[in-house]
A and B are shown apart, each in its own frame.
Chain A
Amino acid sequence: MGAWLAWIPLLPLLSSLTLLLLGRRLDERGAALFGVGSVALAALLSLVAILLFVVSDGTAWGGQALSWFSALGLEVGFSLYFDGLTAVMVGVITGVGLLIHLYSVAYMSGDDGFARFFAYLNLFVAMMLILVLAGDFLLLYLGWEGVGLCSFLLIGFWYRVPENGYAARKAFVVTRVGDVALALGLLILVQQFGTLLIQDSVGQAQLLWADSDWPFWVALLLLGGAVGKSAQLPLQTWLPDAMAGPTPVSALIHAATMVTAGVYLIARTQGIFLLAPDVLQLVQLVGGLTLFLAACSALVQQDLKRILAYSTISQIGYMFFALGAGAFSAAVFHLMTHAFFKALLFLAAGQVILSLHHEQDIRRMGGLLRPMPFSALCFAIGCAALAALPFTSGFYSKDAILLQAYAHGGAGIAWWLALAGAGVTALYSLRLFVRLFLGECHTAPTPDNRWPMRWPLALLCLLALFGALIPQPLSDVFVSVPAGEQHVSWAVHLAVLLMPWLGLALGLWLLLRGEDLRRRFAGGILARVWRTGWGFDALYNALLVQPLSLLARLNRRDLLDLPVGFLAWLSRTCHQGLSRLQNGRLRQYVAGIVWGALLVLAVVL
């Protein structure tokens, strides 16, 4: 069982290679056929796999496939593993991925890098599928770095603009810091267990590491990898800049799938994290802080895509918060619903941006409701789900997170932050919608009636509304965490239910008082701090980037070469000095002999 599963990532991979090698000879239609067709086939296969998995008794499929290498003391294979968690991830990746591919055909039409775009996008899907299907940590790492590469290539897709290249490099380097942590975690597993098979090493950890420090270190290092990829504190700074890529890329990679890889990693290694309660606490705190700080930042951004980027950071913060609180399945649930509504928001934003001739500044938007009713509808649904208004998918998942977290650990700092964050989320969702669609229309948008772009959006609307109904076969995946003794009282229920409305009410009140939300939140020092993402960029710039590049500049010529140069200089100088003595003047020779003789005599006597 399971060998054919390899075709799920292989199909997009092969298509990507074809597009890379032959892309210049294909017209747009041919490139789209490969690009979309391969993902569609992969989606079909995934659907078959998921259905087969669900109707079978729910035991995980796994098995040794081809060997990658077997060194002295370490064997690594291209082994796959498929359980309920994989099923959810594969479904999201191929499902949302397919819709975004379809949308991209229209969005990227006319770009001279059309085939290259689909080559990279297919490669991304392949790598992401490898990441979630991997049964071996090293194969997971291959997918992990592979999606990072695709993210790099796609952020810098419009490579002629230098800023895009810078953003791409920043994204890769910052996430690589996390990757190093992850790699070190894997090194510990190699040293301790001599295997990198995920299930084996997690199982062995549970057997052998009951009371040792190892789980702490491994979990901490895995968390390091996760915060890098998922743009959580303190490695969150790359994601807002990553919006330089084409909008479908932001939707697929920087909202729906890749950035949730960290959540997947922690969920996958639940067994190790449960052994390290301290780290689990840390996960919760990281999530709580990130979600709140990023939500505040989202409140004051002027760039449409940056609002959504900070919102993504914040929503993934919720997932981390849930993981840390022990609400693993709620985290994965939110991962799925977030993929739906955030992809919807990004794609709708792409439609708006395209209609406004690549305008992204919300200060120059407004009043788009009449010219673009369909986009407005998409945004309305997306924002409602983001704000967790009742009966949208986001409502169910966020409720699940807050209530389960409360049940497990009561109301700690992180929980209060998460609750407050729900209000701020509603507030910035409202602001986003109002700024875009109400008020006066300053611009002359081209109509948003391209059907190839509308179809995927319509489907995503449905998913954002009703996606919560999709059942998740997670019951056998997670060890149920001993539920806390906390009784979830009706007050907590009510608070969680009302918080988004509170945010909305605050927003409406400000709106009705005629105060411009922007001015309200855009002036002042706090707003400036928020807009720059709490100054992390400046901090890292001052602490790391500047000193390192200064050091590099100072030592460009390699100080260690100086001693060598000195030796060369010394011998040349001696050579010149001595050769000057041998000048053929008899007088000086005689003088030299006399003085020398006198010196010798003086010494002797």
Chain B
Amino acid sequence: MLIWLLLVPVLAAVLMPVAEGWRRDGSRWLSLVALGLQALLLLPLGSDGGTWWLESRTDWLPLLGIGWHLGLDGLSYLLLWLTVALGIVSVLISWREIRQRVAFFHCNLLLSVAGIVGVFLALDLFLFFVFWELMLIPMVLLIAIWGHDNRHYAATKFFIFTQASSLLMLIAILGLAFAHRAQTGVISFDRDDLLQLQLSPVLAHWLMLGFFVAFAVKLPMVPLHTWLPDAHTEAPTAGSVMLAAILLKTGAYGLLRFSLPLFPEASAAFAPVAMTLGVLGILYGAKLAFAQHDMKRLVAYTSVSHMGFVLLGIYALNGMALQGAVMQMLAHGFSTAALFIVVGMLYERWHTRDLRQLGGLWTRLPRLSGFTMLFALASLGLPGLANFVAEFLILAGAFQRTWPLTAVAALGLVGAALYSLLLVQRSLWGAAKPAAGAPDCSRREWLVLGALALALVWFGLHPQPVLELVREPLLRVLDAPLAHSGVELSSSWLSLRGRGL
């Protein structure tokens, strides 16, 4: 069952040239069919009360303790849906934008989806690493081949950043495996085995940092974020959507699935630093977004700001904040993807993303402008839209840990108002600058934007299904330290407070 979730996109990717030869737009339709099949596979799944809804374990390289161990719980289920939904959106918005090497484009897109699905399912650390790398390569190609003017620079930068950081993770993974051999005599990369390890605090600290850096680069966390604006800006729209909506989430997912459960004490001790960096990201990203003239770059920096909230929420280490962080992953996935799509549509019409050349779009394209307004409002955290629930829960959770830091983080709400409304004012309002005659939303564009808008409103007013879905997995993340080390989380927090946080 789980294997099919992986195989469907891979098979479709392999069949891409055939489909392209079969008929015009064949590869696009094949991609839709593949992603639709994945959705069908996901549809009937549900919890049976255990830890994993589905789990499959097969030996792969038994000599090295590497197994083909996949597992699905509420958290991965949610993120798989996000992947499939935004994958479909990516195919739809590329319909007109991508004209060259169409089959190869969709091949890369689906391989990247396959890699991401693997990341969300893998429970063997070696396997996880394989998928982690697998999703990266097609993404680099998407940027390097179909991107904008400065695409080679951006693709290289993205590649080096992620590659260098995942090398650290590989070292940490190996360290864990060898630590397991030292303790039990058997080498193992299995998450279940590694959870039982008793690590010395120093070793745990360094291994945790290895994971943390890899995940923080993906998230991205200030100051390791500088690949993101370039990659997002230069990527084709579908690439930006995949990057923003899904790829960034693998970083947060990694923290929740591996970093926190494997190193509970080290993570708790590190939490003040991580939270501070998260708050720094919120404000720094907002400030940079505010200053941009390039609309796409502006949206890219808002990602930095929004993901700062995720980092803050994750390391607040309580249920409310963790639920908020996951909610933010979802909300950011929709709202930022939507804004990237809007920028792509504007670029398609006028071949510019420069806010100084745009303006008065409400006069030219009222429908698209209405959507833009809604997405900008979601981005500024207007109550009633999904981002608000997320940010409020994160702030409420973080507040219980550290009120001064949370108060500073809340200033990010002012920052969000500044950049979002500046975006509205500079692009939608004012005298109409771009030439008249561009068509308003086509039916395909309407469908995509309408669906994203509906999702933002729906989850803004009824976030319960999401919160419900991730409640158990997140509680397990929080329970992990109690379960296998006996150290109470709260006591380590008391000492943190003593240090002024």
CB within 8 Å of B: which residues of A? 20, 24, 67-74, 138, 141-142, 145-146, 149, 152, 156, 159-160, 162, 164-166, 168-169, 172-173, 176-177, 179-180, 183-184, 187-188, 190-191, 548, 551-553, 555-556, 558, 560-561, 564
Partner of B421, one of A146, A172, A552: A172
Cα distance A552–B293 in the bound complex, in angstroms: 12
| Complex contact A173–B410 (CB within 8 A) | no
Partner of B226, one of A20, A187, A564: A564
Partner of B407, one of A176, A184, A558: A184
| Complex contact B382–A190 (CB within 8 A) | no
Partner of A187, one of B284, B377, B406: B406
- Give the Cβ gap from A197 to chain B, nearest Cβ, in Å: 15
Given contact pairs A160-B429, A190-B396, A191-B399, enumerate 16 new A-B contacts (beta carbons under 8 Å): A20-B370, A68-B462, A68-B463, A71-B320, A71-B393, A72-B322, A152-B421, A159-B362, A160-B360, A165-B425, A177-B414, A184-B399, A187-B406, A555-B287, A560-B223, A561-B226
Contact with A along B253-266 (1 / 0, CB 8 A): 00000000000000
| Complex contact B430–A72 (CB within 8 A) | no
| Complex contact A179–B413 (CB within 8 A) | yes
| Complex contact A173–B418 (CB within 8 A) | yes
Chain B residues in 8 Å Cβ range of A187? 395-396, 399, 403, 406, 410
- Give the Cβ gap from A56 to chain B, nearest Cβ, in Å: 31
Task: Enumerate B255-313 residues with CB–CB distance to A below 8 Å.
Answer: 284, 287-288, 290-292
Chain B residues in 8 Å Cβ range of A168? 421, 425
- Give the Cβ gap from A67 to chain B, nearest Cβ, in Å: 7
- Give the Cβ gap from A3 to chain B, nearest Cβ, in Å: 17
Cα distance A74–B394 in the bound complex, in angstroms: 12
| Complex contact B291–A146 (CB within 8 A) | no
Cα distance A564–B229 in the bound complex, in angstroms: 14
Contact with A along B367-393 (1 / 0, CB 8 A): 000100000010000111000010011
Cα distance A20–B457 in the bound complex, in angstroms: 15
Partner of B430, one of A160, A172, A176, A558: A160
Chain A residues in 8 Å Cβ range of B475? 72
Is residue B411 contacting chain A, with contact meaning CB distance below 8 A? yes
Cα distance A577–B280 in the bound complex, in angstroms: 39
| Complex contact B392–A183 (CB within 8 A) | yes
Is residue B471 contacting chain A, with contact meaning CB distance below 8 A? yes
Cα distance A558–B288 in the bound complex, in angstroms: 7
Is residue B330 contacting chain A, with contact meaning CB distance below 8 A? no
Cα distance A120–B392 in the bound complex, in angstroms: 26
Chain A residues in 8 Å Cβ range of B377? 149
11 A–B contacts, CB within 8 A, in A order = A72-B323, A74-B393, A138-B392, A146-B382, A146-B384, A168-B421, A553-B291, A555-B287, A558-B226, A560-B225, A564-B226
Cα distance A191–B393 in the bound complex, in angstroms: 12
- Give the Cβ gap from B276 to chain A, nearest Cβ, in Å: 16
Is residue B157 contacting chain A, with contact meaning CB distance below 8 A? yes
The answer to whether residues A142 and B384 also contact, given A160-B429, A187-B399, A191-B400 and a CB cut-off of 8 A, is yes
Is residue B417 contacting chain A, with contact meaning CB distance below 8 A? yes
Partner of B319, one of A20, A73, A555: A73
Chain A residues in 8 Å Cβ range of B322? 72
Contact with A along B321-332 (1 / 0, CB 8 A): 011100000000
The answer to whether residues A71 and B324 also contact, given A142-B383, A191-B400 and a CB cut-off of 8 A, is yes
- Give the Cβ gap from A310 to chain B, nearest Cβ, in Å: 25
Main SS of chain A's interface residues?
helix
| Complex contact A172–B429 (CB within 8 A) | no
Chain B residues in 8 Å Cβ range of A551? 287
Task: Enumerate B427-485 residues with CB–CB distance to A below 8 Å.
Answer: 428-432, 461-464, 467, 471, 474-475
Chain A residues in 8 Å Cβ range of B432? 160
> Taking each of A72, A169, A552, A564, which has the highest tally of chain B beta carbons within 10 Å of its own beta carbon?
A72
Closest 10 CB pairs of A and B: A72-B319, A552-B291, A142-B383, A159-B429, A561-B226, A165-B429, A187-B399, A165-B425, A556-B291, A176-B417
Chain B residues in 8 Å Cβ range of A164? 429
Cα distance A69–B461 in the bound complex, in angstroms: 8
| Complex contact A560–B222 (CB within 8 A) | yes
Chain B residues in 8 Å Cβ range of A70? 464, 467
Is residue B201 contacting chain A, with contact meaning CB distance below 8 A? no
| Complex contact A564–B157 (CB within 8 A) | yes
Cα distance A72–B377 in the bound complex, in angstroms: 26
- Give the Cβ gap from B277 to chain A, nearest Cβ, in Å: 12
Q: Which residue of chain A has its CB nearest to the CB of B430?
A: A162
Contact with A along B342-362 (1 / 0, CB 8 A): 000000000000000000101
Task: Enumerate B56-74 residues with CB–CB distance to A below 8 Å.
Answer: none
Q: Total interface residues on B, using CB and 8 Å?
A: 60
Cα distance A20–B369 in the bound complex, in angstroms: 12
Chain A residues in 8 Å Cβ range of B82? none
Is residue B318 contacting chain A, with contact meaning CB distance below 8 A? yes
| Complex contact A180–B414 (CB within 8 A) | yes
Chain B residues in 8 Å Cβ range of A184? 399, 406-407, 410
Chain B residues in 8 Å Cβ range of A146? 382-384
| Complex contact B430–A165 (CB within 8 A) | yes
Chain B residues in 8 Å Cβ range of A152? 421
Cα distance A176–B377 in the bound complex, in angstroms: 13
Chain B residues in 8 Å Cβ range of A69? 389, 462-464, 467
- Give the Cβ gap from B431 to chain A, nearest Cβ, in Å: 6
- Give the Cβ gap from B410 to chain A, nearest Cβ, in Å: 5
| Complex contact A558–B410 (CB within 8 A) | no
Q: Which residue of chain B has its CB nearest to the CB of A153?
A: B373
| Complex contact A159–B430 (CB within 8 A) | yes
The answer to whether residues A191 and B425 also contact, given A74-B320, A149-B377, A184-B407 and a CB cut-off of 8 A, is no
> Taking each of B392, B410, B422, B461, which has the highest tally of chain A beta carbons within 10 Å of its own beta carbon?
B392
Cα distance A555–B425 in the bound complex, in angstroms: 22
Chain B residues in 8 Å Cβ range of A156? 425, 429
Chain A residues in 8 Å Cβ range of B428? 159
Q: Which residue of chain B has its CB nearest to the CB of A553?
A: B291
Q: Which residue of chain A has its CB nearest to the CB of B381?
A: A145
- Give the Cβ gap from B287 to chain A, nearest Cβ, in Å: 6
Cα distance A156–B430 in the bound complex, in angstroms: 10
| Complex contact A73–B320 (CB within 8 A) | yes
Cα distance A141–B421 in the bound complex, in angstroms: 19
Is residue B163 contacting chain A, with contact meaning CB distance below 8 A? no
| Complex contact B406–A173 (CB within 8 A) | no
| Complex contact B223–A74 (CB within 8 A) | no
Cα distance A166–B425 in the bound complex, in angstroms: 8
| Complex contact A172–B417 (CB within 8 A) | yes
Chain A residues in 8 Å Cβ range of B430? 159-160, 162, 165
| Complex contact A173–B417 (CB within 8 A) | yes
| Complex contact A169–B425 (CB within 8 A) | yes
- Give the Cβ gap from B57 to chain A, nearest Cβ, in Å: 30
- Give the Cβ gap from A164 to chain B, nearest Cβ, in Å: 8
| Complex contact B421–A169 (CB within 8 A) | yes
Is residue B366 contacting chain A, with contact meaning CB distance below 8 A? yes
Chain A residues in 8 Å Cβ range of B395? 183, 187
Cα distance A183–B412 in the bound complex, in angstroms: 12
- Give the Cβ gap from A543 to chain B, nearest Cβ, in Å: 15
Chain A residues in 8 Å Cβ range of B418? 173
Chain B residues in 8 Å Cβ range of A159? 360, 362, 428-430
Q: Which residue of chain A has its CB nearest to the CB of B290?
A: A552
Partner of A160, one of B223, B363, B366: B363
- Give the Cβ gap from A93 to chain B, nearest Cβ, in Å: 19
Cα distance A146–B284 in the bound complex, in angstroms: 27
| Complex contact B463–A191 (CB within 8 A) | no
> Taking each of B384, B400, B463, which has the highest tally of chain A beta carbons within 10 Å of its own beta carbon?
B384
Cα distance A179–B411 in the bound complex, in angstroms: 10
- Give the Cβ gap from B475 to chain A, nearest Cβ, in Å: 7
Cα distance A12–B229 in the bound complex, in angstroms: 41
Cα distance A497–B399 in the bound complex, in angstroms: 50
Cα distance A20–B450 in the bound complex, in angstroms: 14
Cα distance A188–B431 in the bound complex, in angstroms: 44
Cα distance A492–B450 in the bound complex, in angstroms: 63
Chain B residues in 8 Å Cβ range of A564? 157, 226
